[in-house]
Amino acid sequence: MADRLFEEPRLADVYDLFDSAERPDLDPYIKMADEFGAQSVIDLGCGTGNLACRLAALGKEVIGIDPAAASLKVAGRKAFADRVTWIHGTAEALVGLQADLITMTGNAAQVFVTDEEWMSTLRQCRSAIRPGGRLVFEVRDPSKEAWKGWSREESYQVIEAPEIGKIETWVDLLDVQLPLVSFRHTFVFHKDGTVLTSDSTLRFRSKSDIIASLFSADLLVEEIRDAPDRPGLEFVFIARCPD
């Protein structure tokens, strides 16, 4: 089940407003799609569809999959959304699909908190990747302890949104029981005083654990890159399906 941040329509509608309009974190995925000659891409955990729509604009055959219907509704309103096949579902929706590249951006690869969920997802991806194709995803480096910055003081933002008014948001750290970290987003809509919260839990797997899990799923670790938008803080895994 998707977190309320993505599933609650009012939160999904404003989600993109708190991100950089340029979304530099997505640029490496656009470049890798071309680098690997991928003509078909599945964006697993596509959220509000930014990457999927950008790839579709370049003429790629794109499928966006997400468990949050509210986020998919937002995605469907974007430019080039009509060129994307949107699927409301989880990794199980990969059954019967085939692509040259599967991506998981942002925190998508860390929402699988149990080993069973993670391995099932990797195996579903493996079955949907064409021989020689790739799975690309990013995860935060646990040693950098990103959660230490998940406080109201460090995360506070306020915007004025057209027709919506002033919105405040921040993150509070709830619990750290490594490898699991739980936190809460709070949104305050000043126009009517509504306060909405969304609790999330991410799993911080070590680099060696992820390498082992990819091997178990019959995916070859081709390369581990840095994330250009957050240098030294994340790992970008590139795993290839055997020919």
DSSP string, 75-127: HTTSTTGGGEEEEES-GGGGTT--EEEEEE-TTGGG---SHHHHHHHHHHHHH
Query: Hey, CA dihedral for 99, 85, 39, 54, is it positive or negative?
Result: negative
First to last CA, the chain: 34
- pTM above the 0.85 mark? yes
What is the pLDDT at residue 20? 63
- pLDDT of 22: 64
Q: Domains of the chain: which residue ranges? A: 4-142+205-240, 144-202
pLDDT digits (tens, 9 = 90+) for 152-204: 999 999 999 888 999 999 999 999 999 999 999 999 999 999 999 999 999 99
- The CA distance from 142 to 39, in Å, is 33
Q: 69, 65, 68, 75: which is closest to 16 by C-alpha? A: 75
For residue 171, the cross-strand partners are: 185
pLDDT of res. 1? 64
Predicted local distance difference test score (pLDDT) of residue 105: 96
- The C-alpha atoms of residue 157 and residue 180 are separated, in whole angstroms, by 25
CA 79/CA 123 separation, integer angstroms: 32
Token pair of 176 as six digits:
């750290």
How large a percentage of the chain has pLDDT more than 90?
90
Considering the domain 4-142+205-240 in this protein, what is its CATH number?
3.40.50.150
- Cα separation, 166 vs 32, in Å, equals 38
Q: pLDDT tens digits, residue range 40-91?
A: 999 999 999 999 999 999 999 999 999 999 999 999 999 999 999 999 999 9
